Amino acid sequence: MPISSEQKLEVAASRDALQPTRRAVAPELEAILYEPIAVLDHGFVRVVDYMGDDSAIVQAARVSYGKGTKQVSQDRGLIMYLMRHWHTTPFEMCEIKLHVKLPIFVARQWIRHRTANVNEYSARYSIMDKEFYIPRIEHLSPQSKQNHQGRSEDGLTELEAARVLDILKTDSQNVYSHYEELMNVDAQGNVIDEGKTGIARELARMNLTLNYYTQWYWKIDLHNLMHFLMLRADAHAQYEIRVYADAMIDILNKWCPLAYEAFTEYRMGSAHVSKTGIEVVKRMIGGEKVTQETSGLTKREWDEMGAKFGFCDL
Query: How far is it, in rounded angstroms, from Cα 212 to Cα 285?
Result: 53
Mark whether 232 is an active-site residue. Answer: yes
Determine how many CB atoms are found less than 10 A away from the CB of residue 248.
Answer: 26
Query: How far is it, in rounded angstroms, from Cα 117 to Cα 146?
Result: 35
Given 76, 201, 205, 232, which residue is catalytic?
Answer: 232
Q: Quick check: helix, strand or coil at residue 198?
A: coil
Query: How far is it, in rounded angstroms, from Cα 92 to Cα 70?
Result: 21
- Give me the phi and psi of 212, to 5 degrees please: -70, 150
Task: Outline where the chain has alpha helix (H).
Answer: 5-16, 27-32, 54-62, 72-84, 104-110, 158-183, 201-204, 222-232, 239-255, 257-263, 275-285, 292-295, 299-309
Q: Spell out the residues 6+ positions from residue 192 whose beta carbon is closer than 8 angstroms to its own.
A: 180, 181, 184, 185, 186, 198
User: For the residues of 230-256, what is the DSSP string, one character each?
Assistant: HHHSSTTS-HHHHHHHHHHHHHHHHH-
* Residue positions annotated with a catalytic role: 232
